[in-house]
Amino acid sequence: MSNLGNKNVRPWDIFNKNILKLESNISQQRLEICRGCEEFMKLTSQCKKCGCFMNSKVKLPSAECPLGKWSAVTVDYKEEI
């Protein structure tokens, strides 16, 4: 991800098992926003502005849209005992 979004997010974060991924309606809502954007390339599911593969980026809680269409979220979860 480029410096056009959250500077703390890196492309390889999607592979980091220590980062909780969004597998919810939040990631789906983000992706729908992207799909409706003029900067979205349907063929590769990439953003022309930041170059990210949006199918992956939308799952990172700290990721942000470089155009400000969606922002980072805080994820709280409870460990099962």
Q: pLDDT tens digits for 3-59?
A: 344 556 776 676 677 766 676 889 999 999 999 999 999 999 999 999 999 998 999
Q: Could you list the residue range(s) of the whole structural domain that residue 42 is in?
A: 11-57
Whether residue 20 lies inside any domain: the answer is yes
Q: Is residue 66 part of a domain?
A: no
Q: Which pLDDT does position 75 carry in this prediction?
A: 73
Q: In whole angstroms, how far apart are CA 11 and each of 36, 80, 81?
A: 22, 29, 32
Per residue in 29-45, pLDDT (tens digit) is 999 999 999 999 999 99
Residue 72 belongs to a domain: no
Average of per-residue pLDDT values in the chain: 81
Predicted pLDDT at 20: 66
Among residues 7, 17, 11, the alpha carbon closest in space to that of 46 is found at 11
- Residue 75 inside a domain? The answer is no
**Does 24 map to a domain?**
yes
Q: What is the pLDDT of residue 24?
A: 80
Number of domains in the chain: 1
